[in-house]
Amino acid sequence: MTKKLPLLICFFLIQISFGQVTFVIDSIPENTPKNSDIYITGDFEGWTGGQEKFKLEKRSGKHSITIPKQVKSIHFKFTQGSWDSVEVDKNGKSIANRTHTFVAVPDDVEPVIIKIQNWSQAKELPSTASKNVSILSEDFFIPQLNRTRKIWLYLPPDYKTSNKDYPVIYMHDGQNLFDDTSSFSGEWQVDETLDKLYEENGFSAIVIGIENGGVKRLDEYSPWENEKYGGGEGEKYIQFIAETLKPFVDENYRTKSDKENTAIIGSSMGGLISFYAVLKYNTTFGLGGIYSPSFWFSEKSFEFAKINGNLDTTKFYFLAGAAEDDNETFEGISKTSQDLYKMDTIIKAQGFNKKNSIIKVVPGGKHNEKLWRENFEEAIRWLFTVK
């Protein structure tokens, strides 16, 4: 084990097995409270920040947890039970998501050794949101699901000084869009990007950021159930946006309410539900930013596209990283990228306007906020035809 430890650390979680994997915390920060619990959180459990069933066991001074095999890579981080105490680098800055990929090799591999450098102190850091960002509601009621959700609001720089109506962009995972202190892996910088576009091109848009529901994220971001991960509440969630939230926004703010000026954008599971939203509510959402979509979550997404893909005036901006699974294929693209091309082929076979979709695969791009942040401006320019 001693000889293998440096190699494990060097490759930073690219230890591979097709069976279960055990993560062992070999080193924790000095600022870890005595007897503090440590949790693993990731895409396999909805990025909740920490669930009881994913709490690490502590034995002989070491924290460890065993994760059953998955059909794909998993992306994850460690927390002390919430995003207020997520792991960060030694300087307190956000780190990229950790990754573990399962492939076909024997099951008796060594545990993956983890070193946690530092814990965040998010509540003590200043907000990075621009002055144009506010909270529309701390507890907006979702009648379709009988629960509430925090909603973020971005208004254009000229909103208060003009009488114009504005296009609206609906986005998921609202806590990751504007503010580093609320995000769990760095923000998208949506506000800074749109402020820049306003200064350079005069383009303005309203953004509605809907926070994810923590443990409900996977359920709400897929209309179809996955036997292992859940799902199935996506139809009600999108119905909420289309039939409750959007009418409220259109009534209380100066909006261009037609489909040509209404976009919905999300990443990962948020990409999946955004794609579904555009196809299902194609008279409401005319523009879709589909980032790293989790089409793997259900094969029904492809079946749904075969039935509902015949759209003439809808636009899609598809994005994926070539190394989303941390193992670019010989062809140079990830499984996520392959699924994007497959989906694009399906909808075009149904009559989708070939000029209205674009696919961008970023060489070396991984499944993280960096990929999505760096391509947000391009997506907005293409979807809204901003020069």
Query: Measured between alpha carbons, how far is residue 132 from residues 49, 168, 207, 277 in Å?
Result: 27, 15, 10, 27
Q: Give domain 5-118's CATH architecture.
A: Sandwich (2.60)
Residue 152 φ/ψ, nearest 5 degrees: -95, 155
Q: How many angstroms from the chain centroid is the CA of residue 51?
A: 19
CA distance 150 to 271: 20
315-321 and 357-362: which strand pairing?
Answer: parallel
> Domain segments of the chain: what residues?
5-118, 133-383
pLDDT in tens, 342-364: 999 999 999 999 999 999 999 99
98-100 and 74-79: which strand pairing?
Answer: antiparallel
Q: What is the CA radius of gyration of the chain?
A: 21
Query: Measured between alpha carbons, how far is residue 133 from residues 35, 128, 192 in Å?
Result: 38, 10, 10
- Are the CB atoms for 249 and 297 separated by under 8 Å? no
Query: How far apart are the two ends of the chain, measured CA to CA in Å?
Result: 57
CA distance 100 to 29: 22
**Dihedral of alpha carbons 304, 309, 311, 314, sign:** positive
Residue 154 pLDDT: 98
Instruction: Give the CA-trace dihedral at 5, 61, 101, 301, to 10 degrees.
Output: -170
CA distance 68 to 3: 26
Q: Cβ-count burial of 358 within 10 angstroms (0-12 exposed, 13-18 middle, 19+ buried)?
A: middle
Residue 146 pLDDT: 97
Residue 19 pLDDT: 65
- Continuous H helices in the chain: 5-10, 190-201, 217-220, 234-240, 246-252, 269-280, 300-308, 335-349, 369-374, 376-383
C-alpha angle 384/373/77, rounded to 5°?
A: 145
**Dihedral of alpha carbons 343, 372, 328, 88, sign:** negative
pTM value surpassing 0.85: no
Residue 104 pLDDT: 61
Residue 382 φ/ψ, nearest 5 degrees: -75, -45
**In the chain, which residues have pLDDT < 70?**
1-19, 71, 103-109, 122-125, 326-333
Burial 167-195 (b: 16+ CB within 10 A, else e): bbbbbbbbbbbbbbbbbbbbbbbbbbbbb
Residue 34 pLDDT: 75
**Other CB atoms closer than 10 Å to residue 253's CB: what's the count?**
16
pLDDT in tens, 76-93: 999 999 888 899 998 888
Strand order in the sheet with 112-115: 57-59, 62-67, 21-27, 112-115
Region 133-383: CATH code: 3.40.50.1820
